[in-house]
Amino acid sequence: MKTASTVSPAGQRPSTARASLGGRALGALSAALLLALSAPASAQSQTGFAINRFEPAERGSQFFVNDTLDFRGDFRPAAGATLDYGYKPLVVYDTAGNERSALVRHQVFTHVGGALVLGDRVRFGLNLPVAVYQDGESTIVNGDRFKAADKAAIGDLRLAADVRVLGEYGDAFTLAGGVRAWLPTGQRSQFTGDGSTRLAPQVMAAGDLGAITYAARLALVYRARDDAYAGSPLGSELLGAAGAGLKALDGKLVIGPEVFATSVFTDASSFLKTRGTPAEWLFGAHYDVGDVRIGGGVGGGLTRGYGAPQLRALLSLEYVPAYERPDRDKDGVYDDEDACPDVAGVRDPDPKKNGCPAAIAPADADGDGITDAEDACPAEPGPRTNDPRTNGCPDRDRDGVVDRLDACPDVPGVQDADPRKNGCPPDRDGDGIADAEDACPDVPGVRDADPTKNGCPPDRDGDGIADAEDACPDVPGPRDPDPKKNGCPLVVVTEKEIRINQEVKFKFDSAVILPESDAILDAVKQVLVAHPEIKKVRVEGHTDNVGKAAYNKALSQKRAAAVVKWLTDKGVDKKRLVSQGYGQEQPLDSNETDQGRANNRRVAFTILERDAAAKPAEAPAPKP
């Protein structure tokens, strides 16, 4: 059975000429469709959209799409990657149902993401899809040009925040809600991005019924795009998903089916209709090996909606640390139930005494396991310390500095004689960024998302020279003892010249080039290699006015010729270079001062001919 998704070309009613684009179909094509196979002169290119319908659950789930809502842990991370292969998620058919081209034939994504659970209730997540391989065939349909996906590309970054509302993991019913947001980081031309932000408020349910586990999701996906792709509408969607599985091997293995679908509800003619409702099925399994969870699955399209492939295959690898309820004193009473979590005790039906030694329970008003007689803070629970002034006092960050003395009570730090720094993380340079995070801990800097630059002085061009010292802070260049050249590139190409920022040096009263000038001449050579559109350059020699004019002009000609020879010896085509000595005829500065005369003694590179149609070659920029 051929597969297709029925869509209308732009500018026509569905009752006129149509083309078929799409993924897996369960039934026969619904109508005879006309496919324009020729490419008219006025063909318009169609812009793509985020076609992949597989959205992995936040890391930590035992399903691929649905979420088992494991929100256990005060600070519990998870991370992983899912390899996602789709076969023919977007195909063009003719009126007889024969495949004409696959705009997206093979599509391989790697979904990389992570999640963080906080306080047994809140979870944040992110997922970045990366299309590592795509191929397809471009075509013309009804006068519109449809360009195939043919390159690797980043997809739209997904951020998520969810909160558990009812129940706990493993209960018969757990309810959570939250929101997902997709940022426009993908490429529409490669079908990996929408070009605009998408938002999806959602509600999720999950639970265990004996050996059966289930999960479901319902969301409204706000999609800013309200146009059509080849006549089929794009817009906000209703999303639904459900899954069920069998738990085995003490819960380490979960195996079972999942289904998921979306439907465009902003267009009444497409809502719950085949072409506007891509739906898929999956059959997968997940198995835990210690803190590592591996998964595999296979599925395909249930309808011929956009993005539903004929075949989908999945492999996943995740780090999901096992949840362990804390029990600091190892007395078998978990900390959240233990009235004396730091002193081993016994179970007691009275919550104020549970986990406390019978002898001290009555004399411990705050229930922290430290008797009131030795508790420096008898009304506030706190840990035991060797200092009688802090014994039993609260220390939220558990850094050994009690809260009432801690300048940073929620961040672990070190003791310091300065009360403004006591209990705060070390910060030697005093820039407000702790040494552990500071890439330049001895030099005050600014906060930066890049850990290799965090806490370092600003360096916009990334050349290792701080902006305050960089004479060219927006263009990378090497360090130079001259503050006017420090951080500036050796060579700059302008419309009229190849400007060098270092002097070409010769032996005194000679045209012999000194070895120390090799670096600047090599930079000029690299520019000529990287810019084949520069067809002719005049290498000019200039002098000051010391000496006879005729002698100076002859010497400048020899020096210009020596530079041309150096470049041609290094592989530059001699047809691109001419030399000219001007002697003292074209001074840049006054010859009345030493500095002015030094400025006038120079080699210059003037661009005589440039090919406007040519483009720079794929070559590295001149080395600093």
Q: What is the CATH number of the domain that holds 579?
A: 3.30.1330.60
The pLDDT assigned to 232 comes to: 64
281 and 371: one domain? no
Pairing of the two strands 75-93 and 19-22: antiparallel
Q: Quick one: average pLDDT of 347-372?
A: 79
286 and 370: one domain? no
Q: Quick one: average pLDDT of 554-561?
A: 93
Give the CATH number, domain containing residue 54: 2.40.160.40
The whole-angstrom distance between residue 413's C-alpha and the CA centroid of its chain comes to 31
Record the tokens describing residue 564, joined without a space.
Answer: 């041309």
244 and 367: one domain? no
Look at residue 41 and tell me if it is in a domain: yes
Quick one: which of 298, 208, 313 has its CA closest to 254?
208
Look at residue 424 and tell me if it is in a domain: no
Look at residue 120 and tell me if it is in a domain: yes
Please count the other Cβ atoms lying within 10 Å of the Cβ belonging to residue 262.
Answer: 25
289 and 384: one domain? no
The pLDDT assigned to 238 comes to: 94
How buried is residue 592: exposed, middle or buried, by Cβ count under 10 Å (0-12/13-18/19+)? exposed
- Would the pLDDT of 34 be above 80? no
Look at residue 461 and tell me if it is in a domain: no
Record the tokens describing residue 161, joined without a space.
Answer: 């925040």
Per the CB < 8 A criterion, the answer to whether 178 and 159 are in contact is no
Which residue range is the domain that position 534 belongs to?
491-610
Q: Tens of pLDDT along 565-600?
A: 999 999 999 999 999 999 999 998 999 998 889 888
Q: Quick one: average pLDDT of 197-214?
A: 96
314 and 371: one domain? no
Look at residue 146 and tell me if it is in a domain: yes
121 and 186: one domain? yes
The pLDDT assigned to 460 comes to: 76
How buried is residue 373: exposed, middle or buried, by Cβ count under 10 Å (0-12/13-18/19+)? exposed
30 and 73: one domain? yes
Q: 262, 294, 319: which is the final residue of a domain?
A: 319
Record the tokens describing residue 619, joined without a space.
Answer: 């070559």
The pLDDT assigned to 184 comes to: 95
218 and 303: one domain? yes
84 and 206: one domain? yes
Distance (Å, whole) CA 4 – CA 303: 9
Q: Which residue has the tokens 């001699």?
A: 574
The pLDDT assigned to 359 comes to: 59
- Would the pLDDT of 8 be above 80? no
Q: 365, 394, 423: which is the final residue of a domain?
A: 394
248 and 113: one domain? yes
How buried is residue 536: exposed, middle or buried, by Cβ count under 10 Å (0-12/13-18/19+)? middle
The pLDDT assigned to 594 comes to: 87
Q: Tens of pLDDT along 424-457?
A: 888 877 787 887 787 788 778 788 888 888 878 8
Q: Is 182 in a helix, a strand, or coil?
A: strand
Q: Tens of pLDDT along 375-389?
A: 888 888 888 888 887
Q: Which residue has the tokens 């000609």?
A: 557
139 and 202: one domain? yes
Q: How far is CA 133 from CA 87, 104, 315, 574, in A?
A: 12, 11, 16, 44
DSSP for 57-107 reads: PPTT-SSSSS-------SEEEEEEEEEEEEEEEEEEE-TTS-EEEEEEEEE
Please count the other Cβ atoms lying within 10 Å of the Cβ belonging to residue 68.
Answer: 24
> What is the maximum span of the chain, computed from C-alpha positions, in angstroms?
111
Look at residue 616 and tell me if it is in a domain: no
DSSP code for 513:
B
- Would the pLDDT of 45 be above 60? no
DSSP code for 414:
B
List residues bridging with 312 in a β-sheet: 86, 299
Distance (Å, whole) CA 500 – CA 522: 11
Look at residue 426 and tell me if it is in a domain: no
Per the CB < 8 A criterion, the answer to whether 269 and 278 are in contact is no
Distance (Å, whole) CA 396 – CA 414: 14
Record the tokens describing residue 420, joined without a space.
Answer: 């403004």
212 contacts: CB under 8 Å, gap ≥ 6: 244, 245, 246, 247
Distance (Å, whole) CA 100 – CA 452: 51
How buried is residue 546: exposed, middle or buried, by Cβ count under 10 Å (0-12/13-18/19+)? exposed
Give the relative orientation of helices 549-569 and 518-530 as an angle to the nearest 10 degrees. Answer: 60
Q: Tens of pLDDT along 277-316?
A: 899 999 999 999 999 999 999 999 998 778 889 999 999 9
Q: 345, 364, 394: which is the final residue of a domain?
A: 394
Mean pLDDT is lowest, of 73-82, 449-458, 531-540, 589-598, for 449-458
Look at residue 447 and tell me if it is in a domain: no
236 and 372: one domain? no
Domains: count for the chain? 3
